[in-house]
Amino acid sequence: MKHKLTDKTFGMIMLGCDKNRVDGERLLGEIRSRGCKITNDLYDAQILIVNTCAFLNAARKEAIDTILEGDALRKGKLEKIVVSGCLPQKFIGELYPALTEADVFLGISDAEELFPALERAYSGERVNAVGCGNQTETPKTRLVSTPAHYKYLKIAEGCSNHCTYCLIPKIRGRYVSYPIDDLVKEAELLGKTQELLLVAQDVSRYGEDQGENKLTELLCRLSALDNIAHIRLLYCYPEKIGNGLIDCIKAHEKILPYLDIPMQHSEDRILKLMGRKGTRKEYLELIQRLKAEIPKIAIRSTFISGFPSETEEEHEGLKSFLKEAKLNNCGFFAYSREKETPAYQMQGQILASVKRRRVKELYAAQAEVSRENLKQYVGKTINVVLDGFDEEKGLFAGRAYFQAPEIDGAVYFSAASAAVGEILPVKIGRTDEYDLYGTYEEENK
């Protein structure tokens, strides 16, 4: 029986980070370019794509479970399952013979191979097309999966930092910057965008693989685009934040005064074991400098708790660092022991129960800091971009400039009516540890 792929209905499940989301959007772009139907109702999908993460063991388990659950849909309309992303990119040797539920495997940069692989699959093959695409080319097309007012722009692939706990270089390869002209064109094609979020494993290293850091040049080019209202920087490594980037943020109103700086720990011995290049003193000096140079700066960071041999004293040191640094937003993660990383072999692995306790204590310490940070907004009117309506709270949900989508707190507010993507003046009435609550009224304008 002849199968015409353009008549098929596609569904997608996206797992993992925002970089992975962009990879999924490239696949959706390929599907749209062929004129195929895309559905959000997986029960209507004839072809299901599961775009996977493989960063941690928990993510790999989630991906496998999702694929197995998807296979149950074959009792209905589902005909083929495509597994894409980090999991097959790294583990195709194990996956292909074992995961027979999948008909097609694609890696992180194989979007253009989707339809040729599906043609083969409908001819009766199981297809391994991992690594067959162009690994360094920016995408020809994307279908944005986020709300229309904010979009991600992935400016580089891979990572060359080789932190001792991290699998990313083994999954995504060495750091490769996409050409500036291609990125500017991609940003233009995204259309009217309230907030463009720049992402990569290390945004602050952009261009260095080609011989020269070109992040500020890219930011200047993007700031000149009429369709881009604001730019947000995620994943800037602390040692790469220098005068050039600081001056660029100060010079361009479109660049939000917000930096995501993954520090991962505060104590010097642990940082050295992690393969990180900073020290507690240097991190605190950078934070104070940023606050002095850019008074409205909001700083986010992530930290790993329970790294091998981390002592209670070093854990307490990280808690005291949080109280001193007074960061706006933080994420905390228990160390995950990953094979093929140097940290896997390190002595002094920490019990899971201890790691859970430490993470809980870190969140409690940061909650106090966050509540104090947010108190300054009570009684004031701040600009908030509307992301949608929270059915559970019965309130509109949006974000101020110091809140990135999906990872930071939110501003919840009441209003007679409001449009997604609109920037509204919201008068703040109260706060909890991470969120603000207020009202939008015409007189706030």
The reported pLDDT for the residue numbered 1 is 41
The reported pLDDT for the residue numbered 443 is 54
- Residue 441: band (very low, low, confident or very high) from pLDDT cuts 50, 70, 90: confident
Q: Is the pLDDT of residue 139 over 80?
A: no
Q: Is the pLDDT of residue 57 over 90?
A: no
Q: Which two tokens stand for residue 48?
A: 């299901």
Q: Thinking of the domain 146-260, which architecture would CATH place it in?
A: 2-Layer Sandwich (3.30)
Distance CA 207, CA 271 (A): 25
Q: pLDDT tens across 2-54, in order?
A: 468 889 999 999 998 889 899 999 999 999 999 999 999 999 999 999 999 99
Q: pLDDT tens across 173-228, in order?
A: 899 999 999 999 999 999 999 999 999 999 999 999 999 999 999 999 999 999 99
Strand order in the sheet with 298-305: 150-154, 195-199, 231-233, 255-260, 298-305, 329-334
Of 165, 199, 161, 159, the C-alpha closest to 304 is: 165
264-375 CATH, one of 3.50.50.60, 3.40.50.2300, 3.30.750.200, 3.40.630.30: 3.30.750.200
Spatial CB neighbours of 106, under 8 Å, sequence gap ≥ 6: 27, 82, 83, 84, 85, 88, 113, 114, 117, 129, 130, 133
3-class SS at 158?
coil
In the chain the first and final C-alpha atoms are separated, in Å, by 63
Q: Thinking of the domain 5-128, which architecture would CATH place it in?
A: 3-Layer(aba) Sandwich (3.40)
Distance CA 278, CA 256 (A): 25
381-444 CATH, one of 2.60.40.10, 3.40.50.720, 2.40.50.140, 3.40.50.300: 2.40.50.140
| Strand pairing category for 9-14 and 37-38 | parallel
Contact 19, 178 (CB under 8 A): no
Burial annotation 21-31 (CB, 10 A radius, 16+ → b, else e): bbbbbbbbbbb
Count of residues in the chain: 445
Q: Please, where in the chain does CATH 3.40.50.12160 lie?
A: 5-128
pTM for this structure? Answer: 0.92
